[in-house]
Amino acid sequence: MKFFKYIMVGFLFGFGAYKMEMISFFRIYEMFLFQSFHMYGIIISGIIIGIIITQLFKRGFVKTNHGDVKKFNPKAHTWPRYIIGGIIFGMGWALTGVCSGMMFVLMGSGYTVFAIFIASAMLGTFVYGLTRQYLPH
Amino acid sequence: MDFLNQIHELLSSQWPWWMGGISIGLTLFLLLYFGKEFGLSANLRTMCAADGAGDYSDFFNFDWQSQGWNLMVALGAMFGGYMAATYFSPGHHAHISQETVVALNEISADVPGSSLTYGNIPIVPAPTAENADLPKFWNLYSWDSLFTLRGLIIIVGGGFLIGFGSRYAGGCTSGHAISGIADLQLPSLIAVVSFFIGGLIMTYFFLPYILQIHI
């Protein structure tokens, strides 16, 4: 039962992601051609509302359900991983039109071949885990 | 009953972009309220660890069971996608612009009968009951497609790049573009700019040629 609330959060996100066509290969292609505001509107409005929400938690105006002030982990200021890893991720995003959240939504929407996509993404993460000590971070 | 029908009709209509702010904001708010983070690619690491990847790399030696909540978010996202696709999406269209349709038809120009019509673009490139007349050129997300070189590159190759890149960069579109930038983290901004650089390189230099492979 303690997991039920997380399933509900995921449900809201997945439902919205499908309805806003965030799972659409064609929408992602359109975004990278800069031919519509749609995807940018989703990302920018998500960020603006996200900044407000994050600040409310950070400054303690809103506390977690345990009554604590939410702690945020600052990310390390080392650049190669964000640039190289980001470019690799971006290439995958444009190639399939899918990012790591959308692969679950698509799998649920009935495109069962995404089981293979998810397995391949796990393999990618596994290979990163094996090779990370040799990669520039 | 009439009221429920009206709600069903409203949810089934096309959602404007600003619903993104509401939907993403609500997701972020609830996860922070529960003391967690919004970042879906972390699940890939958890799934590897749960399958015993810790025997091969210390990167997977962590208390993966403490991440079970995030797997539940992913499970919920699957269920949300199922409900939206099954009951709330008449037509299953992606409402992309006319310029984009022209650009897509340029890619498929050499294959007769492959052009898409503005206003009748399926939500994803896969044949469904509603889009049975989808040109074969645009059949990408299916088991048939997986057994072609093109489909293998797009499904297996794309998955690998997403899995490798998101962990290397320490997050994905939800972890960096939303959570990280919302926390005003400079590394996340650098990561998102890099996502776009990678996406533009793929879109302009590789994707049209990959789509034209017909083996």
Burial profile B154-178: b = 16 or more Cβ within 10 angstroms, e = fewer = bbbbbbbbbbbbbbbbbbbbbbbbb
- How far apart, in whole angstroms, are the C-alpha atoms of residue B122 and residue A110? 14
Q: What's the whole-number average pLDDT of chain B?
A: 93
Q: How confident is the model at residue B42 (pLDDT cuts 50, 70, 90)?
A: very high
Return the SS3 of A75. Answer: coil
B-chain residues within 8 Å CB-CB of A82?
169-170, 187-188, 190-191, 194
- How far apart, in whole angstroms, are the C-alpha atoms of residue A17 and residue A81? 28
Give the C-alpha distances (Å, rounded to integers) separating B128 from B83, B115, B125, B141: 16, 17, 9, 10
- How far apart, in whole angstroms, are the C-alpha atoms of residue B169 and residue A128? 10
Judged against a pLDDT cut of 90, whether residue B18 lies above it is answered with yes
Alpha helices in A20-79 (DSSP H): 25-32, 38-58
Once rounded to an integer, what is the mean pLDDT over residues B189-214? 96
For B118-131, write each residue's pLDDT tens digit: 988 999 999 887 78
Three-class SS string for A81-128? HHHHHHHHHHHHHHHHCCCCCHHHHHHHCCCCCHHHHHHHHHHHHHHH
> What local confidence, expressed as pLDDT, does residue B2 receive?
86
How far, in whole angstroms, is CA B60 from its chain's centroid? 25
Once rounded to an integer, what is the mean pLDDT over residues B25-37? 95
- How far apart, in whole angstroms, are the C-alpha atoms of residue B64 and residue B49? 6
- How far apart, in whole angstroms, are the C-alpha atoms of residue A61 and residue B183? 15
For B136-158, write each residue's pLDDT tens digit: 999 999 999 999 999 999 999 99
For B76-109, write each residue's pLDDT tens digit: 999 999 999 999 988 889 999 999 999 999 999 9
Percent of chain B's residues with pLDDT above 70: 100
Once rounded to an integer, what is the mean pLDDT over residues B17-27? 95
> What local confidence, expressed as pLDDT, does residue B90 receive?
85
> What local confidence, expressed as pLDDT, does residue B163 receive?
96
Mutate to test the interface with A, among B62, B71, B73 (most CBs of A within 10 A): B73
> What local confidence, expressed as pLDDT, does residue A1 receive?
66
State both tokens at B103.
């650009």
Give the C-alpha distances (Å, rounded to integers) separating B20 from A6, B66, B183: 19, 29, 18
- How far apart, in whole angstroms, are the C-alpha atoms of residue A97 and residue A126? 22
Three-class SS string for chain B? CHHHHHHHHHHHCCCCCCHHHHHHHHHHHHHHHCCCCCCCCHHHHHHHHHCCHHHCCHHHCCCHHHHHHHHHHHHHHHHHHHHHHHHCCCCCECCCCHHHHHHHHHHCCCCCCCCCCCCCCECCCCCCCCCCCCCHHHCCCCHHHHCCHHHHHHHHHHHHHHHHHHHHCCCCHHHHHHHHHHCCCHHHHHHHHHHHHHHHHHHHHHHHHHHCCCC
Shortest CA distance from A75: residue in chain B: B187
Shortest CA distance from B147: residue in chain A: A113
ipTM here: 0.95
Once rounded to an integer, what is the mean pLDDT over residues B36-48? 94
Judged against a pLDDT cut of 80, whether residue B1 lies above it is answered with no
Q: Which of A9, A70, A125 sits opposite B35 (nearest CB)?
A: A70
pLDDT mean by block of 10 residues, chain A; 137 residues: 91 96 96 96 96 94 90 88 96 95 95 96 96 93
> What local confidence, expressed as pLDDT, does residue B166 receive?
95
> What local confidence, expressed as pLDDT, does residue B48 receive?
94
Q: Which of A32, A103, A125 sits opposite B48 (nearest CB)?
A: A125
CB B7 within 8 A of CB B32: no
**Interface contact B159-A5, CB threshold 8 A:** no
Largest CA distance in chain B: 58
Of A134, A96, A68, give the one whose Cα is nearest residue B126. A96
> What local confidence, expressed as pLDDT, does residue B128 receive?
82
**Interface contact B40-A101, CB threshold 8 A:** yes
